[in-house]
Structure 1
């Protein structure tokens, strides 16, 4: 099979399309997916550049990619929720397995997959699993009652957009911090727009810091509120009875199925910025690295 691979860390030029990889076989509890679309994430760029701060479970070569939208074409034993021919979405927990989805086929645990949204192209559906679940799990960590105020930094990004929408649906009063050019999108999600972290101390019941502005944002949280950092190393120590959490997205079939229903109804914005083929993977990495992307960078075979 064909896949995007790299054998050494470096810039986008280390990426290649390898054409003679073996087609993977599903084990117990796994299915094989013929990939229609996957998505490029900032963490893919960090790992490729050799800048990820933690050890990886296997050495290179690597195939990058987390999200997948595609069709099941083989199944191992003990996969009761799926059959061959089902169209599904899900994601590979790459940091634990280094199983990448920028390939023609990928084998994944079946219990992390759910039916793809009806009437939505695979290129858009692939934008949902990792970022949508990250947003859902961030709000789950905070467990805020309706009417609570929450500040979301990086609110115009992929995770931020989903978080704004889910906050609105939960009855929260969200404020989105982003560039001024993102004002219209932030407000379209029912949130108040904030161009910078200039707010009075204790203004919010909680903060979700997707833009990694840092623990200084704790000052904006009321005593006894909540704070979610973008990753475990960035989680600040609790203070003033503020509960601090860190994002570490995990597969969740039931939560993902709920997100699919919201996408089908139009409640969740599935934004696609660009679509690139395997052969254009280096260009996709370069585009994401330049920043300012509003929507998913999608990779197709």
Structure 2
């Protein structure tokens, strides 16, 4: 089968299409025939060597939408089931940017019925990151939350999920994104500094760090979405990173919210798998509102 891989670190040109063996599912695993797979900043990090792995062939792709092709018993999934899943891209030699991918059965959820596979492929990584970050913040309805990077993929899901929980969201993004951020459910919008100690918590999707922490009240909470990037804790503010993990049951909840119209799935552009390097170049160009998606 064909797969997008990295054998030497570098820019978008380091992404190669290779012929590799079709993976076989083991016990409690499923093989998915990939219909679509999103391209995320973490893929650019793998390509650039941020996570190590020199001298190895590294697969790319954390998000997958497709159909179950084969199963390793015991599992309730059956061939032909339309599904979505989070693929642990840093733990496997082959990721979702391929014609087939194998994942743990408990990482899988039935695909949304209301959208196509290209849109469905944008949900797992960013949706799970957002909901797991909100779980860490543990805010009650009526609490106030600053979401930085509110127009981006993780930030956009966080705005929608928090608003759905009855949380008052302050969306932080560029001036030109105000209409889009408010449409996602933000009660307030800002493109500049936020008043110090004015919100109960921050979900820092834009990795602003210390300036965003200043907006949290004493004893509030701060969660960053990039591993290991945390400002120094102060004033009793609890600070944590969200370490996204595969969770098929939680992903199924997000799928339900998609089908209920609570969550919007945004696609900026789709590319053929053969054009994975072009997709990486487009990602590097920035300014995207929605995910890039590869289609085998």
Does the TM-score normalized on the shorter chain lie above 0.5?
yes
After superposition, the C-alpha distances for 1:195-222 in whole angstroms (9 at most, x for unaligned) are 12x1221011001111111123221100
TM-score by length of 1: 0.95
Match of 1:15 in 2: 15
Match of 1:73 in 2: 69
Q: Where do 5+ consecutive residues of structure 2 fail to align?
A: none
State how far apart, in whole Å, the 2-side matches of 1:237 and 1:199 are: 18
Q: Is the 8 A contact 2:110 2:252 kept in 1?
A: yes
Match of 1:140 in 2: 135
Q: Where do 5+ consecutive residues of structure 1 fail to align?
A: none
TM-score by length of 2: 0.96
State how far apart, in whole Å, the 2-side matches of 1:154 and 1:120 are: 25
Establish whether residue 2 from structure 1 lines up as the match of residue 5 from structure 2: no
State how far apart, in whole Å, the 2-side matches of 1:256 and 1:43 are: 19
Identify which of 180, 189, 196 aligns with 1:185: 180
State how far apart, in whole Å, the 1-side matches of 2:258 and 2:84 are: 13
After superposition, the C-alpha distances for 1:148-203 in whole angstroms (9 at most, x for unaligned) are 1100000000111100000110000001110111111111122111112x122101
Deviates more, 1:214-223 or 1:234-243: 234-243
**Ranges of 4+ aligned residues in structure 1 off by more than 4 Å:** none
State how far apart, in whole Å, the 2-side matches of 1:65 and 1:23 are: 16
Identify which of 64, 69, 78 aligns with 2:60: 64
State how far apart, in whole Å, the 1-side matches of 2:143 and 2:93 are: 38
Identify which of 250, 256, 260 aligns with 2:255: 260
Match of 1:241 in 2: 236
Identify which of 56, 78, 86 aligns with 2:81: 86
Match of 1:225 in 2: 220
